[in-house]
Every structure is written in C-alpha cells, then in structure tokens.
Amino acid sequence: MNRILFGAAAAAAVLITPALACETITSAKVKLSACIDTTAWATQTPSGDQEFLYYSSDETIGFAVINENGAWPASQFREAILSNAVAAALDAKPENVSIVGERLENIGGKAWNVIEYQVQIPDGALLFQNFYYVQPGFGSSQFVYWSAPEGGTATAFRAGQMLSTIKFSE
C-alpha cells in the first residue's frame, strides 16, 4: 500500500513540476495573459510590433506575441499576415509562400483563427503557425510560432501547451 501511495505522490510531483516553472506574461496593449514555461523557452529581445519573443531551449522553435489595440475584420487581418509573409519570403514573391491549412481553435474560451503557411527563405523554408484573435473593443492578438517544416508537429504540441494557458481579463 505504501508503494502505491509513494508512486502516486511521485507521479503527481512530476505532473505538477512543469507548472512551477510558469512565468506569466501580461500584455500592456490588450487584456490578455499567458504562462511561459521558463525551463523550455528563452526570452529574446522583441523587435518591431512584437510584444514578446521567445526561442526554445534548443533554438529549433521560435514564437512571438504581437498585440495591438486596433481591430480589423478577420479577413483583412488574414491578408495582412500573408502580405507580411510574402515580404519576408525569398525574393519577396507570393509563389514563395504556400498555405498549409486554416482552422478555428477555442483558446481561452474564444474562437481564434489559425493559419499555417510555409515561407521559402534563402536558407530553405520555415513553417509558421499563426494563431490570431481580432475583436472590436479588445484589439488583436497573434501568437506566431515558427520552425523548420519537419518540426511542425513538435511546434504544434509546444504551441498547444502554451496556448492552453491564455486568459482574458476584463
């Protein structure tokens, strides 16, 4: 009986330990926060519109959080995302950006748009998984993850872990 209790306690400690590494990030622009596992992500210096920027410990995955006060129709926001992707693509050509898929996901109790796209760059390709939420009165939020295409599944898993911690405040 003691072995079972000890085993259960050890299993609980393993499951609880990742939560202890949480660092809450809170946007200064929109009413949103999330938890970053500081054992898995390294803080980087954001640039441009990025409010937060992180790389995985092994530097194979990156993600940026972009929050803005303004809100636009989701279709217009989507087009802006793809325009930015084209600007970053090899020779800034639209044919060097391909949409892999699109869907809706429930994140923090809200319907977020997700667009996955691959961008050809001089050194190969990057797969982007862009989760975006746009709402009048809230503004807009993007959690943009990227990796080499072969790392897409691992990136989606890591994104899911982090996105499940998103909270909206009033």
Output the tens digit of pLDDT for each of the chain's 170 residues: 444 444 444 444 444 444 458 999 999 999 999 999 999 999 999 999 999 999 999 999 999 999 999 989 999 999 999 999 999 999 999 999 999 999 999 999 999 999 999 999 999 999 999 999 999 999 999 999 999 999 999 999 999 999 999 999 97
Q: What is the pLDDT of residue 42?
A: 96
d(CA 45, CA 47): 7
Q: Do the strands 139-147 and 110-121 form a parallel or antiparallel pair, or are they unpaired? A: unpaired
Query: Across-strand partners of 37?
Result: 22
Q: What's the N-to-C CA distance of the chain in angstroms? A: 48
Nearest alpha carbon to residue 110 among 68, 166, 159, 70 = 166
Of the options 3.40.630.30, 3.40.50.720, 3.40.1000.10, 3.90.79.10, the CATH number for the domain spanning 22-168? 3.40.1000.10
Q: What is the pLDDT of residue 170?
A: 74
Q: What is the pLDDT of residue 21?
A: 82
Enumerate the domain spans of the chain. Answer: 22-168
Q: Give the max Cα distance, the chain.
A: 67
Nearest alpha carbon to residue 55 among 69, 71, 38 = 38
